[in-house]
Copies of this chain bind each other. A is one copy, B any other.
């Protein structure tokens, strides 16, 4: 199972991209622009300062075991209940909420949206708790996942409680945007559920029974939807109209898809500016990532070769480095890598178009742009 925009992901800087029209470097040009990543890092830091106290107070308000598991999951407590330094993640989604609010409503809107930002982060973490149970993932943010420590039942229940807590935060927020924000966040949860269903379903199917459209739709639902929702909630808290809200939702969705495409490329070939060697785990696990499905459905000779390789059982990564390299080469020869990089550039271009539609002033749009650059690793 891919990590899909989670904070366990330590893969670092940018992947080369194909420089299509609308590519982000050309849409902004401030001297201290976002492209060195410093602005995004500063935004994330500021977001954590603003949002984590609200987030932690919400988790602390839970009763007994739900509180204990929640505090463990966010890294604020060890499994035995003793205090821990805390590592609740980078806070990309709450940063998008605050940046969208600021882009359309200035500092006052950003301040007003802190609770909504916490609600989005609670929803994200509810899905992480459940996904880890379903995917049997044992590590998250460099610590054992909640289900490995507390068992499946309690991890599922803690996830349920975090979803409820998110919607409770909004229901108790007197801001006029809180009601449409709650409706939108709840609708997003449904989409996330369908996305996780699609992911597990696609992974169980034969390699030749999966279409590229299906994998793109899955990635949009599983990864793009919550990024889009985060931006949309910020817009709502800025008092934006339906069109701006929809455009910012589209911005987040397309940036999320660009992220996923690039993440999948790194999952196969590694980060050339960082490790310089293939990573391979996704291929060993026969993961139907976007470049792989693009290759499988390309109709090229490489596609048949790849299909034959993917028909073999799961590989032990260490034992089969040669086989993994052959598989990566087959994906590349069938055009999977080129397609994914071009598609990522295209999605970023669409994201920029949506952003320009919602926030025509490049200065005001800078914060959101910096975050989009950051999540798609175009800046470190």
Which A residues form the contact surface with B (CB < 8 A)?
Answer: 62-66, 126, 130, 133-134, 152-154, 156-161, 163-165, 167-168, 170-172, 178-180, 182-183, 186-187, 189-191, 193-194, 196-198, 200-201
The reply to whether B160 and A160 contact each other, CB–CB distance below 8 Å, is yes
The reply to whether A172 and B183 contact each other, CB–CB distance below 8 Å, is yes
Interface centre among A160, A172, A183, A196 (most CB of B within 10 A): A160
The reply to whether B183 and A164 contact each other, CB–CB distance below 8 Å, is no
The reply to whether A161 and B183 contact each other, CB–CB distance below 8 Å, is no
The reply to whether B160 and A200 contact each other, CB–CB distance below 8 Å, is no
Chain B contacts for A182, CB-based, 8 A: 167-168, 171, 182
| Contact residue among B160, B178, B189 (Cβ-Cβ distance under 8 Å from A193) | B160
Given A65-B197, A196-B157, are A183 and B163 neighbors across the interface (CB < 8 Å)? Answer: no
The reply to whether B152 and A134 contact each other, CB–CB distance below 8 Å, is yes
How many monomers of this protein are in the complex?
A: 2
The 9 closest A-B CB pairs, nearest first, are: A168-B186, A164-B189, A171-B183, A171-B182, A157-B193, A167-B167, A161-B193, A164-B186, A134-B153
The reply to whether A171 and B157 contact each other, CB–CB distance below 8 Å, is no
Measured CA separation A186–B160 after assembly (Å) = 10
The reply to whether A64 and B194 contact each other, CB–CB distance below 8 Å, is yes
| Contact residue among B66, B187, B197 (Cβ-Cβ distance under 8 Å from A197) | B66
The reply to whether B62 and A190 contact each other, CB–CB distance below 8 Å, is yes
